[in-house]
Amino acid sequence: MNIAINGYGRMGRLIRKCALERGHAVTSVIDPNVDLPEVTSRVLSDQSIGDADLVIDFSIPSSALNNIEIISRAGVNAVIGTTGWYEAAGAAEKIVVEAGTGLLWSGNFSLGVNILFHLIRTAGKIMNYFPEYDAMIHEFHHSGKVDSPSGTAEMLSSILIEEIERKGEIVTDSLSRKIAPGELHVSSTRGGSIPGTHTILFDSEDDTIEITHRARNRNGFALGAVKAAEWMQGKTGFFSIDDMMKTIIASV
């Protein structure tokens, strides 16, 4: 594939490296603020996209919808890794459908994390039949992370709430009281340089079952974005990474 990258921060650079290693050509790198030899343009446009088959966008939330419109107008598919724009998802889908192009978005392109989501959904379905087990989530992140709990922990807790009927409310505060049976506690620790660790626990009087994902670096996020670009070849429509994961898992 010919791939254009919009946004050449840390993720953009890892995506370029991963795409080249997987045999793709990175024909355009677009960023208004980065002075590196790989950057071919300061502005996203039909001209800067050039002959790319697809644009991978890891830019800023305020420009996401405008970027989607420019990419779609150019007749090119998109993989959007920018976060914080999802209130405009309906408008984005309308743009993509009307243009007859394709778009895949996700707030987390880590393959391991997306595998974890599917594992936890299955675990939740099973635990729905075993009231002896309580459920809880704890996550660790580096000292510089500004939000708590993480977006990944929020997604995991939403999955458990959907699948375990006896759990109806997510609690993220530090508790100074007894937790109610219908509450799912999601707790967080911040410190050090931890890239991200998420542990889901199912606990009974007799034993504990733990499922843990530990990120070692950001390479898995870049690989997930490039694999999403590969999956989007020849597709039209509005997709999330969950659509991609479902088709992969269904073929196993």
Q: Just list the catalytic residues.
A: 141, 145
DSSP 182-249: TEEEEEEEE-TT---EEEEEEE-SS-EEEEEEE--SSHHHHHHHHHHHHHTTT--EEEEHHHHHHHHH
Give the whole-angstrom CA distance, residue 69 versus residue 103: 11
Strand partners, 70: none
Q: Whose CA is closest to 61, among 85, 93, 91? A: 85
Residue 138: other Cβ atoms inside 10 A: 18
Whether 244 and 231 have beta carbons less than 8 Å apart is answered as: yes
The torsion of the CA quartet 27, 33, 37, 42, rounded to 10 degrees, works out to 40
Could you tell me the two tokens for 216? 């070692």
Q: How does DSSP classify residue 16?
A: H
Residue 206: other Cβ atoms inside 10 A: 7
Whether 128 and 163 have beta carbons less than 8 Å apart is answered as: yes
Give the whole-angstrom CA distance, residue 117 versus residue 24: 28
